[in-house]
Chain A
Amino acid sequence: MPENTGVTGELFDGTSARRRHVSLGWDHAGLTIISDGIADEQVAWADLHLLDTLPDARSYGHAHRAGWRLRVPHDAPAELLAQLPHNSQMGGWIDRLGLGKSIVAFALASAAVVALVMTAPTWLGPLVPETWERHIGEAMLGDLAAFQCKTPTSDAALQSLSAQLDPRHPPVQIELVKVDMVNAVAIPGGRVLVFDKLVQDAKTPDELAGVLGHEIGHVRKRHVMQALLREFGLSILLSGANTQFGNSLGQISSMSYSRQAENEADGFSRDRLRAANISPQATADFFARLKKHDPIPHNVVMDYLASHPDTAQREQAFHAAVLTDHAYQASLNPAQFAAIKNACAQDKRAKQWDLF
């Protein structure tokens, strides 16, 4: 018999729902369950855990016996209650650390995670190998050749434009696609898609050069990878707060750039225009025209205008970059410009790409 006895408790043994009124004895080794004056069960302290504090009693479970429940009344001797395990209320870590400290620790950790997710894409993006980005681009967009307008002369003209603006190797791949929208996009894998409607709208080859310079800027500055990473990071972060996991990966396809990235791409474009001795005035005129047509951008996915800085400001910036009394040269000759303009009409193979 144990050293201390005299407390009564209730026991469910887990094999049936029968309630037994038992006496409890205890010593350093553990708890003894005494039923009808006979000690019939020894339980080591380590095998017991507190399940819950009920209004009338504390409920303990057994580490090795499912459904075994012992209820010890709140008015049991303090020595016994002190021996029994204490509550796990909020989860292991929090109980050990205390609520206040836990909240501070979690808040700091969360702030660090948020900061990482917000800033990591900017430095991580450029570190991702370009070949990986190409694979991602292929996985997301597949083969767009069917929509591409391609004639030998138009291809040569686009290549010439690209080479003037960006002499780096390998060159950024510029594809003219048959889409009925004034837009151009940089897509994962170092590719730029120019939509035919933009070409048809262009008054001079120089404004095409300005827009291409902007998109090449996105490619060279790794904005595409940055946007992908940001989108991915945010969706992971939001999946903690939101239970809808389903959409998170799908959102990758509808990415957008930060305003800072847009300004960088515009800056890149102006620098490259200057280096290639192409006047930025045509691009300023293009923005002036956009502003008149469409002061508020439509809510269209991948829209060139969406999330871009204010059109008037951009017009102003390109206009300010024009050097007075300077002899600029035309980026393309009229024949080259016409070749790009006529490419989609001539290439009968190209299919209309209905994005929406």
Chain B
Amino acid sequence: MSDNQSHDQEAGAFEFDGSWQEFAPIAFTNLLLTIVTLGIYRFWATARTRRYLWSRTRFIDDRLEWAGTGMELFKGALMALLCIFLPIALLNMTAQRLVLNGHKAMGGVLFLVMLIAIYFLVGVARFRALRYRLSRSYWRGIRGGSDDSGVNYGLSYLWKNFVGSFALGLLIPWSMVTLWNERWEKMSFGPYRFAANGQVQGLMKRFLLCYLAPFLGMAGLLVMMIPVFVAGGLKSGHSNPNGMAFFFSFFGVLAFYIIFGFVVMAYYAKFYRQMIAQTSLHTLSFGFSAKAMDWIKLFLGDFGLVIITLGIGTIFIPYRHWKFQVSHMQAYGEIDVDDLTASTTADVTQGEGLLDAFDMGAL
């Protein structure tokens, strides 16, 4: 059964064996080249970064491979600029002109049409970015992909996000879950389609906590205020109203962000764990082990890294996030490598230009 790759144990299906010392020369030359080319090299920089990260990721007994190129990312961005953003900019100009000329209603309608179009395109962009990434990801000479253009997904993205905002946003988890399913069910790897049966059940409790966060933040602030009141009481007569106001607003905002961040992370960590556990590929099922605390540590780590290095550490963030992703990813089940045959999905010719242009990250 040497060719039947089985993975029933929890640990080890995915493993990352790169090191930041090995990545550093790539990151620094990317930064340098990006600066001297006024940013244009960033497409090639992305391709180099991914080639490194993918190649240092082992799935069962072989490495992943990133086969995308900088040139196709560049072409994708150029196409997005010409076919999407130029028309949107012209539409925007026309709408502004209408408002300027006193045709406010017509200008407003045009703005609305533009917003709807952008929302739809963001949906299409997310779909196509995932499709592109899968189609450039190889394992043992086999790649993934999708034959869907993402237009239907774009429409779903539009109306589900709209409906999601109903009832004070209580339907947001539903829209997130169904969109996840819709996106992944159109994707395949080799001859197999992904199956996504994500459920909303189990997410609502944490989602509702997000609504409580502002109140929790307020309570947290009051608790933090106690020492200030005590100190103020001791030094009565020397109180500085400006200093107090600054202290209140600074810690108020800080407390709010910390508590809200924690609560949102708690929801998102659960969402991500649950979605991955409910997504499968033929005989393989997956799992993701990162808890809310792990995500928070990741982001605090990012923050610290960027601050301490005065911003230069930003170039290591893709590395950190990929490592986080891979080291928490699990897979169970068995693959028959003889049956894992070449993908028949169309070979996409352009990179994720649209998504890139909307400035949105992966997954």
Contacts and interface: CB of A to CB of B under 8 A. Distances in A.
Interface of A: 12-19, 51-52, 54-55, 59, 61, 66-69, 89-91, 94, 99, 102-103, 106-107, 110, 113-114, 139-144, 146-147, 237, 239-246, 248-250, 252-253, 351, 353, 355
A143 B103 CA distance: 11
Interface string B57-81: 0000011010100110000000011
B34 to A, nearest CB: 8
A245 to B, nearest CB: 4
A117 B140 CA distance: 48
A13 B357 CA distance: 36
A280 B199 CA distance: 77
A96 to B, nearest CB: 14
Interface string B130-168: 000000001111110000000000000000000000000
Nearest to B360: A243
A245 B81 contact: yes
Contacts of B141: 12-14, 17, 67-69
Contacts of B234: none
Name the prevailing secondary structure of the A interface residues: mixed
A110 B33 contact: no
Given A67-B141, A67-B143, A249-B90, 15 more contacts: A16-B142, A18-B3, A51-B67, A52-B51, A52-B55, A52-B65, A67-B138, A69-B141, A139-B93, A140-B93, A142-B100, A142-B101, A237-B38, A250-B92, A351-B102
Contact of B33 (A19, A51, A103, A241): A103
B211 interface: no
Given A67-B342, A69-B65, A18 B33 contact: no
B201 interface: no
Interface of B: 3, 17, 29, 32-33, 36-41, 44, 48, 51, 55-56, 62-63, 65, 67, 70-71, 80-81, 85-86, 88-90, 92-93, 96-98, 100-102, 118, 138-143, 190, 335, 337-342, 347, 356-359
Name the prevailing secondary structure of the B interface residues: mixed
Given A16-B338, A114-B38, A240-B40, A106 B33 contact: yes
Contact of A55 (B17, B96, B340): B17
B350 to A, nearest CB: 16
Contacts of A241: 38-39
Nearest to A51: B65
A219 B222 CA distance: 60
A110 B86 contact: no
Contacts of B337: 16-19
Contacts of A250: 89, 92-93, 96
Nearest to A147: B102
Contacts of B48: 89-90
A146 B65 contact: no
A90 B34 CA distance: 12
Given A68-B141, A243-B356, A113 B38 contact: yes
A54 B66 CA distance: 12
Given A16-B340, A103-B33, A240-B39, A142 B98 contact: yes
A142 B110 CA distance: 16
A235 to B, nearest CB: 10
A241 to B, nearest CB: 4
> Which 7 pairs of residues, A with B, have the shortest CB-CB distance?
A12-B141, A249-B89, A241-B39, A240-B39, A17-B140, A17-B340, A67-B141
Contacts of B139: 17
A57 B33 CA distance: 28
A114 B35 CA distance: 13
19 contacts: A12-B141, A15-B341, A16-B339, A17-B335, A52-B51, A52-B65, A66-B143, A66-B347, A103-B33, A107-B36, A142-B100, A242-B39, A243-B357, A244-B357, A245-B357, A249-B89, A249-B93, A250-B89, A353-B102
Contacts of A19: 3, 62, 140, 337
A12 B63 CA distance: 12
Contacts of B357: 243-246
A74 to B, nearest CB: 14
B359 A243 contact: yes
A113 B39 CA distance: 13
B80 A245 contact: yes
